[in-house]
Structure 1
Amino acid sequence: MDTISPDSPQYVYEQLAAIIERKIRSGEYAPGTRLPGELTMTHDYKVGPGTVRRALDILRDRGLVVTVRARGSFVADPLPPFPETPEPSA
């Protein structure tokens, strides 16, 4: 699902980060490719520029995106592995 839900308990920027991460992990945005610009994302997802920047901050922190000043944001190459899921406690 690539839509932002204002009724979700999750912050809008977290929802956007999850959408972009899904696109990266699925291969829609391949490693090394440039992501759409902030302005494009604000129009596509109907969010403000601050929301897009915060979502990109999350993705940078996860090692999925690299931003180059005056060039844009790119999918990391190579991608980091999926985060480990904790084992359930017995």
Structure 2
Amino acid sequence: MTTKISTADARKNFANIVNKVAYGKETIVLTRRGQDVAALVSIDELELIQQIEDHIDLEDAKLALAESGENIPAEEVWKQLGL
């Protein structure tokens, strides 16, 4: 369930909102002048989002390696990037 709340109201009810997100597993979308500006999600949801992003990044990397046809040692990449 997603609830929208203004940033001004969020400031006034911060502790209550954090509890809803942390313990009620509720997603809160913060708005400013009627526009969505941020979202508060539980740590479990954040970790899931990060795992999904990591999986997508890994799949993209595998695809890029397959398309390049060659493996480049990390040291060479770092050298090319000046690291």
TM-score, length-scaled by structure 2: 0.27
In our comparison, the structure showing a higher alpha carbon Rg is: 2
- Between 1 and 2, higher relative CO (CA 8 Å, sep ≥ 6) is seen in 1
TM-score, length-scaled by structure 1: 0.25
More helix by percentage:
2
